C-alpha cells in the first residue's frame, strides 16, 4: 500500500498527529512541528515573531532537509504565521489546510491565487468566546465602565459622564452574518436586543435576525442601529468598509466592536468620528498593521477605545473544530470527493 504524505507544520499536540494518522491506513504523518521556525523568524516582522513565536525552542534542521521533506508532500496542515514560499518549494502540493479562519492570512504567501486547493477553518473557530467579547464590549460602554479607569487614576468621580444605557430593545447590526456573526447575533438576541445584519449575498435570514440584507444595504442598517459588530472577512470589497460614509450613517453614540480584521476600519476616519463624539465607544481585538507594529497611539490613548491583542477567541475551553474539518476533508480527499471550506480566490475567503 502506497503511503500518503501529510506534513504537519504548526505547533500542536501529539494527539492531533495521532488523530490525523487514524483517518486512513494510507496516511503517513510527517511531524514537521517547529522545523520552519527559523524561516518564520527571518521572514516575518519582529512584532509577529515576538507575539506568536516568542522564545520557544525549535529543532535544528537544514534548508536541504526541509526542502527534501516538502518535495514529497501533497497535503500540508498549516498554522500561523504561515511559511511564505510553500508553493514554490513543494512541486507536488495539491492541498493546504490553514487552521485559522482568515484567508487574508495568506495574502503575503505564494499560495494566494495559486492552483493549490486551500481550505480554512472559517466558521469553525471559537465562536462563543468571540460573541461574548462583543456583548461584553457593548455592556462595558453601556455602563460607562471605561470612565471608571479615568476616575481611578484621578481619584475623583465624575458621576455625570457615566450616562448608563440599557441594551434591551436596542438594535445591533452584525456586519458579516457568517458562522461567527450568527453566534454574535444569537447572544445579542438572548440579551433582548433586536438584531439586523448583512451578508455578501442575500440569503434567507435565520430566525434570530429581524432583518438580514445584502452588503449593499449596510448604511441603511447602520442608520437604525445603536450597536455594530464587525464580523466579516477582510477582502478587497471590505477594505476600509467602515470609513467616512459608514460613520456618517451611524447614529450618534453608537458602540462599535471589531473582532475581524483591522484593515476593515479606516482608522483615520475612525479618529475623525471620535473627534466629533460620534461614537460612545470602540472596542477592537484587531487593528490595521497588527502583525507589524503596535496600535496607533492616538487610538490607544483615547479613553473611549479598548484595544486587545487578538484574544477574542481565547477561552478556558476550546471549541475550535479546525482539526476535525481537516480530518473530515482528508477522508474526502482520499475518496476523491469535494472539500469543504475551500477558498474562492475571487471572493477572497
Q: What is the pLDDT at residue 3?
A: 77
Which residue out of 211, 239, 240, 310 is catalytically annotated?
Answer: 310
Task: Select from 174, 219, 221 the least CA-distant residue to 197.
Answer: 174
- Partners of 173 in the β-ladder: 196, 228
Rounded Cα–Cα distance for residues 80 and 189 (Å): 33
Query: To which residue does cell 472539500 refer?
Result: 339
Asked if residue 96 lies in contact with residue 75, where contact means CB atoms within 8 angstroms, the answer is yes
Which of 261, 263, 267, 280 is an active site residue? 261
Question: Does the domain at residues 4-124+320-334 carry the CATH identifier 1.10.3720.10?
Answer: no
Query: Tell me, what's the pLDDT at 115?
Result: 95
pTM equals 0.93
CA–CA dist 12, 53 (Å, integer)? 13
Contact 193, 173 (CB under 8 A): no
CATH code for the structural domain at 127-307? 3.40.50.720
Q: Which of 278, 276, 269, 277 is nearest to 296 (CA)?
A: 269
pLDDT, tens digit, 9 for 90 and up, residues 198-219 = 998 766 778 899 999 999 999 9
Q: How far apart are CA 288 and CA 306, in angstroms?
A: 14
**Residue recorded with cell 460573541:** 131
Residue of 226, 263, 267, 290 marked active site: 290
Task: Answer yes or no: 290 catalytic.
Answer: yes
Report pLDDT for 200: 84
CA distance 119 to 117: 7
Spatial separation of the C-alpha atoms in residues 127 and 319, rounded to whole Å: 8
User: 271 burial class (0-12, 13-18, 19+ CB within 10 angstroms)?
Assistant: middle
* The pLDDT of residue 135: 98
4-124+320-334 matches 127-307 in fold: yes
Q: State the Cα–Cα distance between residues 313 and 130, nearest whole angstrom.
A: 5
C-alpha cell at 165: 444605557
Output the DSSP codes for 315-332.
-SS----HHHHHHHHHHH
What pLDDT does residue 319 have? 85
Q: Where are the domains of the chain?
A: 4-124+320-334, 127-307
- Other C-beta atoms closer than 10 Å to the C-beta of 115 total 8
Name the nearest CA neighbour of 110 among 124, 96, 130, 128: 96
Other beta carbons less than 10 A from residue 284's beta carbon: 27
- The answer to whether 211 and 188 are in contact (CB under 8 A) is no
Torsion (CA) 264, 268, 271, 275 in degrees, nearest 10: -140
- In the residue annotation, 261 being an active-site residue is answered as yes
Which of 60, 63, 43 has its CA nearest to residue 52?
Answer: 43
Q: Which among 232, 236, 282 is positioned nearest to 261, based on CA atoms?
A: 232
Closest Cα to residue 285, out of 125, 161, 163, 92?
125
Helix (H) or strand (E) run with residue 268 in it: helix 267-275
Mark the ranges of the chain whose per-residue pLDDT is less than 70: 1-2, 202-203
Q: Is 239 a catalytic residue?
A: no
Amino acid at each position: 500500500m502506497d503511503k500518503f504524505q501529510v506534513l504537519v507544520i504548526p505547533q500542536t499536540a501529539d494527539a492531533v498527529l495521532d488523530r490525523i494518522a487514524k483517518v486512513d491506513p494510507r496516511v503517513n504523518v510527517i511531524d514537521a512541528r517547529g522545523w520552519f521556525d527559523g524561516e518564520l523568524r527571518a521572514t516575518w516582522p519582529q512584532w509577529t515573531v515576538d507575539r506568536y513565536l516568542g522564545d520557544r525552542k525549535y529543532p535544528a534542521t537544514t534548508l536541504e532537509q526541509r526542502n527534501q521533506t516538502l518535495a514529497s508532500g501533497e497535503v500540508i496542515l498549516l498554522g500561523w504565521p504561515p511559511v511564505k514560499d510553500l508553493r514554490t518549494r513543494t512541486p507536488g502540493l495539491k492541498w493546504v489546510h490553514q487552521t485559522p479562519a482568515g484567508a487574508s492570512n495568506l495574502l503575503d504567501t505564494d499560495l494566494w491565487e495559486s492552483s493549490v486547493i486551500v481550505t480554512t477553518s472559517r466558521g469553525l473557530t471559537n465562536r462563543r468566546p468571540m460573541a461574548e467579547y462583543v456583548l461584553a464590549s457593548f455592556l462595558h460602554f453601556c455602563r460607562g465602565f471605561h470612565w471608571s479607569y479615568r476616575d481611578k487614576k484621578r481619584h475623583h468621580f465624575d458621576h455625570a459622564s457615566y450616562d448608563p444605557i440599557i441594551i434591551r430593545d436596542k438594535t445591533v447590526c452584525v456586519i458579516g452574518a457568517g458562522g461567527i456573526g450568527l453566534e454574535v447575533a444569537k447572544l445579542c438576541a438572548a440579551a433582548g436586543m433586536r438584531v439586523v445584519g448583512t451578508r455578501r449575498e442575500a440569503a434567507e435570514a435565520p430566525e434570530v435576525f429581524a432583518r438580514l440584507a445584502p452588503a449593499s444595504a449596510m448604511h441603511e442598517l447602520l442608520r437604525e442601529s445603536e450597536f455594530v459588530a464587525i464580523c466579516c472577512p477582510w477582502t478587497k470589497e471590505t477594505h476600509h468598509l467602515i470609513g467616512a460614509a459608514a460613520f456618517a450613517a451611524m447614529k450618534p453614540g453608537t458602540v462599535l466592536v471589531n473582532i475581524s480584521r483591522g484593515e476593515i476600519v479606516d482608522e483615520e476616519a475612525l479618529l475623525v468620528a471620535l473627534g466629533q463624539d460620534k461614537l460612545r465607544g470602540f472596542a477592537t481585538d484587531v487593528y490595521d498593521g497588527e502583525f507589524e507594529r503596535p496600535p496607533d497611539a492616538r487610538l490607544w490613548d483615547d479613553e473611549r477605545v479598548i484595544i486587545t491583542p487578538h484574544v477574542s477567541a481565547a477561552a478556558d475551553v476550546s471549541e475550535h473544530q479546525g482539526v476535525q474539518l481537516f480530518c473530515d476533508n482528508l477522508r474526502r480527499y482520499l475518496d476523491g470527493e469535494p472539500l469543504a471550506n475551500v477558498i474562492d480566490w475571487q471572493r477572497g475567503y
